[in-house]
Structure formats: structure tokens, C-alpha cells
Amino acid sequence: MKRYYPQSEKTRRKHLLPAWAVTPTFILGVVIVVIALIMAIFPAQIAPYDPTVVDITARTKAPSAAHIFGTDNYGRDIFSRVVWGTRIDLSIGFFGVLVPLIIGSIIGLLAAWYGGWLDSLLMRISEIMMAFPFTILVIAIITILGTGTINLYIALWLVGWMSYARLVRAEVMTLKKSEFIEAARVAGFSDARILLRHVLPNVISSSIVFAASDMVMCMLTGASMSFLGLGVQPPTPEWGAILNEGRTYITYASWMTFFPGLVLAITGVGLSLLGDSMTDILRRKGR
Amino acid sequence: MADIQFDYTSRSKLVEVKDLCKWFPVKRTIADSLLRREVRYVKAVDHVSLDIYQGECLGLVGESGCGKSTLARTIIRLYEPTSGEILLEGTDIAHMSARELRPLRPHMQMIFQDPYSSLNPRMSVRAIISELLLYHHVVPKDQVDQRVEELMGMCGLSADYAGRYPGEFSGGQQQRVGIARALALNPKFIIADEPVSALDVSIQAQIINLLGDLQQKLGLTILFISHDLRVVRHITHRVAVMYLGHVMELGPTETLFDGPCHPYTQVLTKAAPEMNPLKRTREYAIEGETPSPIHMPPGCRFHPRCPYCTDQCKAEMPELRQIAPSRFVACHHPLQKGAGV
Amino acid sequence: MIGVAERILEVKDLKTYFPGRDELVKAVDGVSFEVYKGETFGLVGESGCGKSQTCRSILGLLKKPGRVVDGQIILDGQDITHLKEKELRKLRGKKMSVIFQEPMTSLSPVLKIKKQLMEVFDDTPMTRAEKQQRAVELLRMVGIPSPELRMEEYTFQFSGGMRQRAMIAMALGARPKLLIADEPTTALDVTIQDQIMKLINSLKQELDMSIILVTHDLGVIAQMCDRVAVMYSGLIMEMCDVVTLFASPRHPYTYALMSSLPDPANKGARLNAIQGSPPNLAHLPEGCPFWPRCTECADICKRERPEMREIAPGHSVRCHCLDKTAAYRGIIEAPQGKEA
């Protein structure tokens, strides 16, 4: 059998989203992520209170009509804090992945294309770093740099690029030998042109798919670090930090941890579902 | 391609390959480096000399691993040769840098074997061809679209397809796009690397016709690589037979196939299945298989499989030498010394 | 000879469809043929014509979502159309066996050749030593030099030709009555192809088996087959003995295929190419599937699918325009006393 039927590929590129791609998983993922995005973009309009204003008269109030998620030990409205926290946590997820995606892809591209010592060096570094668990490595870096939001980002970037570099490198290695790249070289195109116009568009999709699932990981790591007091510092409303603050009251004011935790979990699930659907779509569409 | 009597005396040489070698080092293990073992090479192309004349179609045949693809890719400078010269209209391009080569690139283009993988799946036909035109300033910007459509028309593709992506075409149409791309820069010299072997039988004839027509119309010089002797016999003026990195025999197509001088050429012609159920043979055309190019036999490369092998063949490597006008053979004991030549 | 010969395989109106998300691919759309004892039956056609899917249907090795929707497959008197995988597995090897185009995908890379060969006799009551002895014999039979040593090696240590030989040894280990060879020489060089073709031919005689040979190469057909079926878009277009096929083809597609081949007597001339490309199996044209590319096409061809008609004993053609195709001459001279 020949490898492909040209006819059956005619459906390619016709629609951005073919009908088969719209599964319940996909819809649920989109709904959750869109709600999270709205909260992140318009927190001032959604949150009924200022997330940092202390109100001694309303300390540790159980959920009610006035405070649907209740209040914490400083009388701050937990719902408002969670809404404002969305912006921070989604940012950690997004930028914590975007920068490694760009840097890692460039490194992988160059390593695979030029090979030689550059390739060996980069791959050895990434192998060494891969040997450590992700979270341990992030903690180690933050311990060296000190706590804080910026350092949390730097730690995530330093650890994150390797996966992208390896993914892109593997793809470029196979693509390098393909005949259309040879054709581009026969045409006399410069390396930059070949890499950017011919190689990159054909290798980047798997990295983007990985980035979608990596965002969850990144967001959760950000929250964990803040929970441990290594990342975003109170009183900034970040989900991990909120959970940490509520931890001591968990036995008699469980709403302080329950609701932020629930939102964190739902957002994580939403991102995962969307990432999975995207993987499916890209795998089926990108032949 | 039509004329069998191809006059070489009046033609100038477009490409001259002189003593060309392309050796790939065999990957060394740690044990190899520790024991200081010698670096071994795969001698994919080993001291090959060839002239390609203006306007001719030279066939390059041989079995897989004989180095025909490597030779082609070295000539067109996808690989840097290990040693030797490649003269394109008298200019040696063998060791030029990418920058020096760039202005010469339009003169030599390539048609690939796998029509699908030779086209960037994320670019439309228009984008693929116009990129070349713009990059090398072949035509003014405002005429690019017109030129794309002209090229597509030349290759039998409707201009309506310009916006389509490679995946939307059938194999034959994809190969037509590949040919249009190769022609975009008005090349003098085209290397066609097995251009029809990935295509269905009914499509092969279309592409062969197209190549023949284009060669006549544009006066192209073609290096036609194939393992299909029937196709090579049909389309080429001269043929070079390769075996384990060496050119074994070189000569005008008809005389070479009718009266092979090298035992290997004879084997090849005998092994191709005859299209006649009434002519069936029982003996193998040849026993054994091509040895690995890492462990090359000494002497004549073909001697372990050659039915006429002598002691001289085992010890001495025969040079490619002329035995009749325009007939060359690398054999100590050519099958017909001048007969039928 | 054909009249009295025993049938080893009968395929009746086989239909194998691949239901897709929004289209139905009719890979095999009503194929009928018989294979007699001791003959080599050729299935020739271009990629996507359904020749491989016909074989896979017979073997019960269809890839998902393909399935046999209609028809009957009778192997050695037994209807195997709807057999369970477990029962089919018992038949494979003993009654029918298969060799594929790329032996590397059918052989295990992690087991020694010896081990893989000995597995063939797993169901038979033999001692280890006996099995090993048989494995050596098999390898010797397919022409692998020093089999005792080579059988201790792994597949990656074998060259392409040797792998195909090992594959054949495995397929023939249990002495099947029917061997299905799916493009057995396509991936090989001409000299090796020549060796494998002749090996299969001589083994056929030695083991007295029947062969279904699938190929796109008319040269291989000419060298190996007794009878041939030409397939196009899931249909058999023409079926006859091999000499008739080459001497006096009657279907325009068969004829076009032959005349599109380069002719050494007519060097450099334009080839008679078949226009267009094979149709999409999910959207076949009305009527005869070949009409958009056919030189003889008449109005009726666009409306009605022609039926298979026997125009001479053992020569059937699926075409409306048989009167026009009577003038066709093949690429070989018909031998005396044998006119179609």
C-alpha cells in the first residue's frame, strides 16, 4: 500500500475547526478557560470587594449572600481574592510557558541544524537537568535567587526550555533530511530563510501542543511555590498563597481553603481538557 | 530526447566531474577512539569522472547503495565533496562556500523522487514557486504571478490550482509542481533523481513525456537517475552504470544496452523482468548480493560476483578507460572489445 | 486444464468497505475469482485499486475500520468469510500464508531468526532439536548460505534480500496450500528481485502450492503468473491467462497500461500516457470507474457499470465496448493456435 491517499487529504485546511473536533471535552475545556480568562481580564468588574482591604468586623465569616466564598481572618472577601488571583495564576501559566517555548525552540532549531559541539553541549546540559525532578529544580533555583514573583518566573524559565529544545531538535533532525529542505538548499536560500520559512512552521506544532499541557503544570508549580512561601508573597492575592494563609484555619473555616482550591482544580482541569483536544486536532490535521 | 544519433563532437561540456570522491566517515564508538582504530569511511562516491554535454540527457543507473544519489547530490553541492573537481561551464564549484554558490544556484536545479515530501506542506503552489522567483529576482515583482501561472501551464497544471497546497494534489500533479519549481529559475542543468519511481504506472508515462517535451523545448541538460532500465533506455542519450561508488561503464544508451561491455551491465539488463510470459528463464541473472560499502572488496569492486573473474581482477582495480569512440568501461576483460560499438 | 483442476480458493462477490467519518471508501467492490491448485494467480493494478485489500480480506488481516460487508471466501472447501480471529489463526500458516513487501515490518527485531522460524512449528509435536533441524532445512531451501550460523543472527544483520528469503522460509514452514505474496519484490533491487522471483517459482513446484501474487509490475506478472486479474478502483476489469493478457488484451485499461510502457523499438517517442489520475474510491464516477480516462468511452459507460462478461473460455472482461476493443493487439505475438 502507498502511504497516503491524496484524495482524502482534500479536507485539510478547509476549516479552522472541523466538525469532528468539537467534542464535549473540547467544549467543557473552552468554557472553563474562557470563564477564567474573563476573570483574569476584568477582575475589577467581577469582584465585589477590594481583595486587599481588611475589614475587622467581617473576620472569618462563612459563605453568605454578601460574601459567597466567605471571608478570611482579615475579613477580606475570598471570592474577590480568588478573582484577582486568576490574573496572576494564569499569567504564571502563560508566560511561564511562552518564554521557554520561544527560547527552547530557537535552541533546538539551531542545535539540530548546525549539529556539532553546539548540539552535544546543549543536549548534555538538558540531559543533566532532566535528571532532576522538575519541582525540586525550581525550588533549588528559587533558594539560590531568593523568593518573589520575578524569581519564580526566572526559575520556571530556566527549567522549562529543555523540553521544547529537545522536542524541536528531534523534529528538525528528521525534517532536515526531507526533500523539500534539500530543494530549498538547492534554491540557494540562506540558512535563516530556510530555518524560519521552511523548517520552523513544520516543527512548531508539537511544541505548541506540549505547551498547552505544560501550562497546567506551570500554573500548578507556581501555585505550589507560592503555597510554600517561595513564590508570590502575601498579601498579593494568588491562589497558592491564599491556600497557605487559610491552611491554619482549615479545621473551623474550611471555606478559606476549599473555594480557592476548587477554583484552582477546575482551572487546571479546564486547561488540560483544552490541551488534550488541541493535541487531537493538531495530530489529525497536521499530517 | 528523440534523436538517437546525438552528436557529441559539436557539443560543449556543461558539467565536468573530475576524480570526484564523497566519503562519509563511519560513526565511531567510544571503543574505537580508545583503541585508536582507524577512521573508516563509506566510500559512496569514489574517484568518479564524468562529462555531461550541453543538451544531452545522461542516465545514471545502478542498484540501491551504488552511490548514484550521493553523486547527484554532490554534483549539485548538497554535499561538500571529499576531493575532486566539479566544473560547471568551466568554473570549479566543488569547494565553494554557500555564499559563492548562491548566484550559480539558478543554473542547476533538482527534481526529487518523492513528490509529496519534496514540497513544503505548508506552502501553496504559488508561494513555493514565487519564493524562488522573488529570491533570485528572476522576473520583476509585478510579473511574478504571471510567471507562476506560465510555469504551471508548461507543466500541465491549471493556473486555478495555484492557491492549493501540496496535500490537495495527486502524486502525478505533485511531481508536476516539483518540475515547475525546478524550472522556475531557468536552469541549464537539471538533476532528476528517480522522478517517476514513486508514481503509479499510468502516471509515469505522463511525467516522462513532460520531461521529454520540456527538454526539447528548453534545451535542458538532464542527469536522469533511475533504477528502471526500461525508462532510462527510453529517455536518455548516454548512460553511466554505477556499482559501489564507481562508474563501471559509460556509453551511448542504445549500444550500451544492446552490447554491454561490463559484466555488471550485462547482469543488470538480464535481471530486469522481460515483459513476455513466453520468455521465462530459470537461472538467476547473478548470485549473491552487493557487499556493504564499508567492507569494500579489494581489486575490482564487482569481482566477488563476477562470472568472468580472474586473479588480476582480485588484485587490481580497473580504471575507467575508453575502448571505442564514446564508450568507456572499467573492466580488465571487457565482454566485447570494440564489437558492436 | 483449468476445467478439471481443483479449486483451492474461491472468492465470490467480495466487498470490503472502509467507513470513514463522512465518506465510505469502497476498497473492494464486488470481486470474484478462483485460484486453482498449483497455479500462480496475479492481481495487478495501481496503488489504491484494492489488490492489497482483497488479500487482506482473504487473510482476515484488514486494518480498521475496514470490513468485509458482502461476499464469500472459500478456502479449500471451507467458508472462511466470517471466521473468528482465533479460528483464522489456525488456518494461517497451514492452509494459507503471506509474505509482505517490507519484511522488516513482519519480522521481529528482537528475536533471533532461529527463534522466529521455530515458532512456526509451535503447534506440532516436535522436540526442540527437530524444530531446529527443520529451521535449518527451511533456510537452506530458500537459499541462505551457511544456515546454521545465519539462524543465530537477528533480522537487522540480514540484507533486504536475505530478509525476504527468511520471510519466505517462515511463510512456507508449515507447507501452506496457498501463499499470498503482496508485492514481494517491490522493495528489492533488480538483481535481487530476479533471485526472489525465481526462488518463489521453484518453491512453488517443489511444495505444490498455489500463489496469489499482488504487484503493480507487469514484468513480474509476465515472469511468474499463470492467470491474471487486472484491478481498477476495487473491481476486476479483465481476467485471463497470462499469455492472452499480453497477446490480446480486451479491456481499454489493460491495453492502455501496456501501451504506456516504453518500447525499446520506439526510443524517444512520446509515450501513450493514460490521461488523468485514478479516481477517489469514496467518490467513484457513475457507470464504469475507468470512463473519465478511457479512450473508447461511450455514453453508456457514463451511465451503467459494465458487468464481467466471459468472451472466450477463461477470458472475462468488464467493458461495454468490446466490439471496439476487438482490434487491440498486445505487446507480444500470440502463439500459434491460441487466439483469444
Give pLDDT tens digits for B187-203.
999 999 999 988 888 89
Question: For residues C76 and C72, what is the distance between their CA atoms, to the nearest angstrom?
Answer: 13
> Would residue C138 count as lying in a domain?
yes
DSSP bridge partners of B221: B189
DSSP bridge partners of B327: B324
Residues C207 and C75 both lie in one domain: yes
pLDDT of residue A3: 36
Distance of CA C10 to the CA centre of its chain: 14
Residue at a domain's end among C231, C266, C284: C231
Q: What is the CATH number of the domain that holds C45?
A: 3.40.50.300
Q: What is the CATH number of the domain that holds A176?
A: 1.10.3720.10
Task: Report the length, in residues, of chain C.
Answer: 340
pLDDT, average across residues B70-94? 94
- Per the structure block, which three cell numbers stand in for B252? 551511448
> Would residue C335 count as lying in a domain?
no
Name which of C194, C254, C275, C280 to mutate to probe chain B: the one with the most chain B Cβ atoms within 10 A of its Cβ.
Answer: C194
Residues C38 and C187 both lie in one domain: yes
pLDDT of residue A22: 81
In B, minimum Cα distance to C293 occurs at: B202
Q: Which amino acid type is present at position B90?
A: G
List the single range of B50-59, B85-94, C324-333 with lowest mean pLDDT: C324-333
Q: State the average pLDDT for chain A.
A: 87
pLDDT of residue B201: 84
DSSP bridge partners of B21: B83
pLDDT of residue A8: 38
Name which of B284, B290, B302 to mutate to probe chain C: the one with the most chain C Cβ atoms within 10 A of its Cβ.
Answer: B284
Structural domain count of chain C: 2
> Would residue C33 count as lying in a domain?
yes
**In this model, does residue C207 exceed pLDDT 60?**
yes
Of residues A237, A245, A171, the one with CA closest to residue A202: A171
Cβ-nearest to A12 among B76, B78, B167 = B167
In A, minimum Cα distance to B130 occurs at: A187
DSSP bridge partners of B17: B50, B86
Q: Is the peptide bond before C65 cis (omega within 30 degrees of 0)?
A: yes
Judge whether A4 is closer than 8 Å to chain C, CB to CB: no
- Does the beta-carbon distance from B122 to A201 stay under 8 Å? yes
**In this model, does residue C339 exceed pLDDT 60?**
no
Cβ-nearest to C47 among A1, A8, A20 = A1
**In this model, does residue C334 exceed pLDDT 90?**
no
Specify the CATH number of the domain B13-329.
3.40.50.300
Question: For residues B310 and A213, what is the distance between their CA atoms, to the nearest angstrom?
Answer: 68
Residues spanned by the domain of A189:
40-285
A45-57 residue pLDDT tens:
998 888 888 888 8
User: Following DSSP, what letter does each residue of B315-338 receive, concatenated?
Assistant: H-PPP-EEEETTEEE--SS-SSSS
Expressed in angstroms, the distance from the first to the final Cα of chain B is 21
Question: For residues B285 and B288, what is the distance between their CA atoms, to the nearest angstrom?
Answer: 10
Judge whether C211 is closer than 8 Å to chain B, CB to CB: no
Residues C89 and C64 both lie in one domain: yes
**In this model, does residue B331 exceed pLDDT 80?**
yes
Count of beta carbons in the 10 Å neighbourhood of residue A200: 18
**In this model, does residue C140 exceed pLDDT 90?**
no
Residue at a domain's end among C231, C257, C277: C231
Runs of H (alpha helix) within chain B: 30-34, 68-75, 98-101, 125-135, 144-154, 171-183, 201-218, 229-235, 253-258, 263-271, 311-315
Name every residue whose Cβ is closer than 8 Å to that of residue B291 and which is 6 or more positions away in sequence: B244, B297, B304
Which pTM was predicted? 0.86
Residues C221 and C237 both lie in one domain: no
> Would residue C336 count as lying in a domain?
no
Question: For residues B59 and B225, what is the distance between their CA atoms, to the nearest angstrom?
Answer: 6
Structural domain count of chain A: 1
Under 8 Å between Cβ of C238 and C230: yes
> Would residue A30 count as lying in a domain?
no
> Would residue A193 count as lying in a domain?
yes
Indicate the pLDDT class of residue C47, thresholds 50, 70 and 90: confident
Residue at a domain's end among C209, C231, C253: C231
pLDDT of residue C335: 78
B23-36 residue pLDDT tens:
998 877 777 778 87
Of residues B233, B234, B265, B256, the one with CA closest to residue B62: B265
pLDDT of residue B5: 56
Residue C221: list chain B partners with CB under 8 A. 277
Of residues A201, C277, A178, the one with CA closest to residue B119: A178
**In this model, does residue C1 exceed pLDDT 50?**
no
Q: How far is CA B197 from CA B204, B231, B338, in A?
A: 8, 10, 34
In B, minimum Cα distance to A188 occurs at: B102
pLDDT of residue C281: 84
- Does the beta-carbon distance from B202 to C193 stay under 8 Å? no
> Would residue C1 count as lying in a domain?
no
Q: State the average pLDDT for chain B.
A: 89
Question: For residues A139 and A231, what is the distance between their CA atoms, to the nearest angstrom?
Answer: 10
pLDDT, average across residues B63-83? 93
**In this model, does residue B18 exceed pLDDT 80?**
yes
Expressed in angstroms, the distance from the first to the final Cα of chain A is 18
Indicate the pLDDT class of residue C327, thresholds 50, 70 and 90: confident
C17-46 residue pLDDT tens:
998 777 888 999 999 999 999 999 999 998
Residues spanned by the domain of C301:
233-325
pLDDT, average across residues A120-137? 86
> Would residue A10 count as lying in a domain?
no
Residues C253 and C121 both lie in one domain: no
Phi, psi of B260 (to 5 degrees): -65, 140
More confident residue, A172 or C158: A172
**In this model, does residue B337 exceed pLDDT 50?**
yes
**In this model, does residue A176 exceed pLDDT 70?**
yes
> Would residue C126 count as lying in a domain?
yes
DSSP for residue A194: I
> Would residue C216 count as lying in a domain?
yes
pLDDT of residue C4: 60
**In this model, does residue B4 exceed pLDDT 70?**
no
Question: For residues C65 and C18, what is the distance between their CA atoms, to the nearest angstrom?
Answer: 6
For residue C68, what is the enclosing H or E element?
Answer: strand C67-75
**In this model, does residue B1 exceed pLDDT 60?**
no
Residues C269 and C208 both lie in one domain: no
Judge whether B164 is closer than 8 Å to chain A, CB to CB: no
Question: For residues C325 and C333, what is the distance between their CA atoms, to the nearest angstrom?
Answer: 17
Residues C39 and C65 both lie in one domain: yes
Residues C241 and C319 both lie in one domain: yes
Under 8 Å between Cβ of C235 and C54: no
**In this model, does residue C3 exceed pLDDT 70?**
no
Q: Give the three-state DSSP class for A17.
A: coil
B113-145 residue pLDDT tens:
998 899 999 899 999 999 999 999 999 999 999
pLDDT, average across residues A186-205? 92
- Does the beta-carbon distance from C21 to A20 stay under 8 Å? yes
Cβ-nearest to B78 among A10, A185, A193 = A185
Residues C224 and C252 both lie in one domain: no
pLDDT of residue A16: 61
Chain B closest CA to A181's CA: distance in Å?
Answer: 8
Residue A186: list chain B partners with CB under 8 A. 76, 78, 105, 108-110
Expressed in angstroms, the distance from the first to the final Cα of chain C is 16
> Would residue A2 count as lying in a domain?
no
Residues C17 and C72 both lie in one domain: yes
> Would residue C340 count as lying in a domain?
no
Residues C97 and C218 both lie in one domain: yes
Q: Give the three-state DSSP class for C181.
A: strand
Judge whether B120 is closer than 8 Å to chain A, CB to CB: yes
- Does the beta-carbon distance from A182 to B110 stay under 8 Å? yes
- Does the beta-carbon distance from C222 to B277 stay under 8 Å? yes
Q: What percent of chain A has pLDDT over 90?
A: 50
- Does the beta-carbon distance from B290 to C189 stay under 8 Å? yes
**In this model, does residue A13 exceed pLDDT 70?**
no
**In this model, does residue A273 exceed pLDDT 70?**
yes
More confident residue, A71 or C267: A71
Indicate the pLDDT class of residue B295, thresholds 50, 70 and 90: confident
Q: Let me know the angle formed at the C-alpha of A271 by A259 and C22, rounded to the nearest 5 degrees.
A: 135
Residues C203 and C316 both lie in one domain: no
